[in-house]
Structure 1
Amino acid sequence: MTPTDSPTSSARTTYGAVLGSPYVARLLGGTLVGRLPNGMAPVAIVLLVSTDGGTLAFGGLLSALYGLASALSQPVKGRLMDRHGQTRISGPAAILNSAALLTLPATGTTSSPALATVIVVLGGLAAPPLEAGLRALWPSVLPDPVRRHTALALDTGTQGLLYITGPLLVAALTTAHNPSLALVVTAVLGLAGTALVLTAPPSRTWKPVPGGLSRTSDRLFSGQLVALFVALVGVGVAIGGMNVWAVAMAERHDTDLLAGVLPAAFSTGSFLGGLLYGHRTWPGTPTRQLLTGTVGFALGWLPLLTLPTPAPATAAAIVPGAFLTLIVARAFTITDTLAPPTRTTEAYAWLILSIGVGQAAGTALAGRLADHPHTLAALPAAGATLALAVLLPARPGRTPAHCGRHRRHCAPVGTAG
């Protein structure tokens, strides 16, 4: 769905109707399960290093490398899916990713740091591009733009479940057993979810749009799309910084469960925000909604600067999370508008890359700042401020350079709503 195709305020649907549509529940559920390694592996890696006697800085570095490798490889895999379909790319990737996660505990992260680093990078590079693939499937699965709008909000909002269930599951498995078991469970869930998606008919039969007649018509990047992606790097920095801040809070208060509870609180806000956003249509253009969400996201991090105790910190983490779904959903909508139809999956992958690079940078920087509580607590707000500083002058989406896959006419995004 494109911005100009957004349903009017009188158009309504229900989550039940969307989930009851053929294959929607299976695709959404399979993607969530298949992407659980994204929410589990970074936390499990940090805890594994800590259990092996390593430092938080090294654990943060490995976690960041996993996220960075996963993010950097997304556009390549997205481009390959645009050419060869989803099954041939995501299937082998999921197998390699799970193999790396299963191998890591046996290497000894402190006794063989170089080998552990190689395995983590390979695992990240092989992370299957399920999110970009799902976004590419929605138009064929849900031709109705009203239901597609609700599905996009539900899709984006339920991603928060990855970072609720994932960190909590890792924390619980580590507390009851050890981080090694958490990585085994992560690998198994990743394989199972990917298989559920790839065996569904919409994924098996999906074919990309044929290439254009000229290179110009297939050109991906424009100034506005680049600005959008740079802003999303700032959003990722905030998320990455928050994850390490949670681990530091757990160590400071001698409560291991906080390492999972605080990211889960943030993701709970994202999930609730997604439900509210998808329940109805909202006034304003997609660009204006994106800016509004980014302002709320930035302001939501400010309470962390007071170094709150665990209970207030948990409550405070919900607030910025509530605005994340709006930011990501509108970013995907604007990306669809600005990208050529022959490279839609790749464009989605670049969007995911931008957030992933920011998250990896935020994780690595936060690891270095672990001994400076005030600076560490300020990092998420700094990342969100960077995003806002880029978006305000650029206002991406107002004058698209390309028509999106589902647009009937080229028109400025600013004309919608």
Structure 2
Amino acid sequence: MPSPYRAIFTAPGSRSFSAAGFFGRMPLSMTGIGIVTMVSQLSGDYGVAGALSATVALASAAFSPQISRLVDRHGQRRVIRPAMLICVASVLGLIAAVHAGAPEPLLFLFAVGAGCMPSVGSMVRARWAHLHRDEPRLLHASFAFDSVVDESCFVVGPILAIGLSTTLFPEAGPALAATFLAVGVLWLGAQRSTEPPAHPREKHTGGSALRTPGLQVLVAVFAFTGAIFGAIDVVTVGFAEQQGHKGAASLTLAVYALGSVLAGAVYGVLRPSSPPARRWILGICAMAVSMIPLQLVGNLPSLAVALFLAGMTIAPTMATTMALVAQLVPRAKLTEGMTWTSTGLSVGVALGSSAAGWAVDTFGAGRAYGVPAVAGALAALVAFLGYRRLTSRPAPRREGTVADERAIHGQPVDEERERNLA
């Protein structure tokens, strides 16, 4: 393991909360597809299955930022455990209701409850930010490593959910997702030494973290970025079926994630000297440009190569985004700020999936790769239009940032270093 990765795990408790975070964020990639697989197998109704999955995603987009806002105020342990219990109870209720053939309104009620899922990934990133707040290089490596973990979850999660539901019993996928969430949250909540300090209510002036101008830009761009991911998933399945090898779609998408994992691992070893905002906009543009080769593919091998190259733009851009959030958002609202970017991503995935499904049916799978291309172009456009908001005022002057904490403790603040954080 390269030295930066060894260094980030020298801090006591870092290995443990990172492992707990892996289990806790697995349901993010398992719950939706697990519900679709379960419902479609038990009832054969793909329309209801897709609608239930979409309900979970939209409910999560509504609940997750509010849960994270409470975490910033009251601490992780006090908030994520009750939220987890609501989510797990709702998933188990949905499983029982589907198995019993309950009325559809009850199914959707449980699906809304299942969206009360704490953003465990944001909790872990907040711990990394707190742990390495005085060491920019280690924080950079931490966020890169976390992006790799995210990608790994999205490779392993759907395979587990679909595989278990189709080989054991239909309810196995969602049940395992609920189990992972319970284990991850209980394990993470038990680790008090690395938990970021809670901030009292009086420090939460100005309302939601989303009012931060720079964060609004990141969330908007991430909505289009999520549309890229959602569209590529759907179109790739359609393309593989059109080529007569539908089963190869999962392998092809795994290659897409593999490109991201490898690039993220390398990115964490590097020592970038340019400001995060500049690296971020270059990453968004690279992601948009990587959609062009997809318009030219004619078979699965060429598609796999194009997706591998496109995947290499993902993890580095995600890691830089988290560095920007840590730079822009006051520390009293850091967890909420990180969750808002994930929310934008989730909403974009849902919209991209819907648009891509329509495009595949209307124009065919090959031409439907135009959907992620358009999403990428819009992401780059919004990034350029909002770039000044990311650089117009330096984060160290904002109350509650890393530099502000150092000033309180009498430590010198290097503004140039802060601008290059991560």
Is the CA contact 1:287–1:397 (under 8 Å) kept in the aligned structure 2? yes
Match of 2:371 in 1: 379
For residues 296 and 35 of structure 1, the distance between their equivalents in structure 2, rounded to whole angstroms, comes to 27
Structure 1 residues 122 and 347: CA distance shift in structure 2, 3 A: same
Deviation, structure 1 residue 37: 0.8
For residues 145 and 10 of structure 2, the distance between their equivalents in structure 1, rounded to whole angstroms, comes to 13
Alignment of 1:69 onto 2:59:
yes
Q: Which residue type is aligned with residue 328 of structure 2?
A: L
Of 244, 251, 254, which residue of structure 1 is paired with 2:234?
Answer: 244
Alignment of 1:290 onto 2:283:
no
| 1:202-239 deviation line (CA, Å, top 9, x unaligned) | 35x53223456794598752433212211111011111
Match of 2:390 in 1: 397
Match of 2:137 in 1: 146
Deviation, structure 1 residue 90: 0.9
SS at match of 1:14: helix
Is the CA contact 2:234–2:353 (under 8 Å) kept in the aligned structure 1? yes
Alignment of 1:406 onto 2:402:
yes
Q: Which residue type is aligned with residue 394 of structure 1?
A: G
Structure 1 residues 190 and 218: CA distance shift in structure 2, 3 A: closer
For residues 344 and 32 of structure 1, the distance between their equivalents in structure 2, rounded to whole angstroms, comes to 20
For residues 237 and 95 of structure 2, the distance between their equivalents in structure 1, rounded to whole angstroms, comes to 20
Deviation, structure 1 residue 189: 1.5
Match of 1:227 in 2: 217
Q: Which residue type is aligned with residue 295 of structure 1?
A: C
Deviation, structure 1 residue 162: 0.8
Structure 1 residues 374 and 237: CA distance shift in structure 2, 3 A: same
Of 169, 179, 185, which residue of structure 2 is paired with 1:188?
Answer: 179
Q: How many residues align?
A: 404
| 1:33-92 deviation line (CA, Å, top 9, x unaligned) | 111111112222333343345465554433332222212212101111111111121112
Alignment of 1:197 onto 2:193:
no
Of 105, 109, 117, which residue of structure 2 is paired with 1:118?
Answer: 109
Match of 1:3 in 2: none
Structure 1 residues 220 and 55: CA distance shift in structure 2, 3 A: closer
Is the CA contact 2:276–2:324 (under 8 Å) kept in the aligned structure 1? yes
For residues 152 and 209 of structure 2, the distance between their equivalents in structure 1, rounded to whole angstroms, comes to 35
Structure 1 residues 315 and 99: CA distance shift in structure 2, 3 A: farther
Match of 2:163 in 1: 172
Alignment of 1:260 onto 2:256:
no
Give ranges in structure 1 of 5+ residues lacking alignment.
1-11
Q: Which residue type is aligned with residue 392 of structure 2?
A: T
Deviation, structure 1 residue 252: 4.4
Select the structure with the greater relative contact order (CA < 8 A; seq sep ≥ 6).
1
Match of 1:273 in 2: 263
Structure 1 residues 196 and 168: CA distance shift in structure 2, 3 A: same
**Relative to structure 2, which stretch is displaced further, 335-344 or 76-85?**
335-344
| 1:288-334 deviation line (CA, Å, top 9, x unaligned) | 21111112211222333346433433333222222112222222222
Q: Which residue type is aligned with residue 161 of structure 1?
A: S
SS at match of 1:209: coil
Is the CA contact 1:60–1:363 (under 8 Å) kept in the aligned structure 2? no
Q: Which residue type is aligned with residue 176 of structure 2?
A: V
For residues 330 and 58 of structure 2, the distance between their equivalents in structure 1, rounded to whole angstroms, comes to 26
Match of 2:292 in 1: 302
For residues 117 and 390 of structure 2, the distance between their equivalents in structure 1, rounded to whole angstroms, comes to 29
Structure 1 residues 250 and 59: CA distance shift in structure 2, 3 A: farther
Is the CA contact 1:250–1:259 (under 8 Å) kept in the aligned structure 2? yes
Match of 1:97 in 2: 87
Structure 1 residues 410 and 208: CA distance shift in structure 2, 3 A: farther
Match of 1:88 in 2: 78
RMSD: 3.0
Is the CA contact 1:61–1:363 (under 8 Å) kept in the aligned structure 2? no
Is the CA contact 1:302–1:381 (under 8 Å) kept in the aligned structure 2? yes
Q: Which residue type is aligned with residue 145 of structure 2?
A: L
Match of 1:160 in 2: 151
Is the CA contact 1:101–1:123 (under 8 Å) kept in the aligned structure 2? yes
Deviation, structure 1 residue 343: 1.6
**Relative to structure 2, which stretch is displaced further, 303-312 or 248-257?**
248-257
| 1:328-359 deviation line (CA, Å, top 9, x unaligned) | 22222222222223222221121221112112
| 1:256-289 deviation line (CA, Å, top 9, x unaligned) | 6445334432222221111011011124221121
Structure 1 residues 97 and 215: CA distance shift in structure 2, 3 A: closer
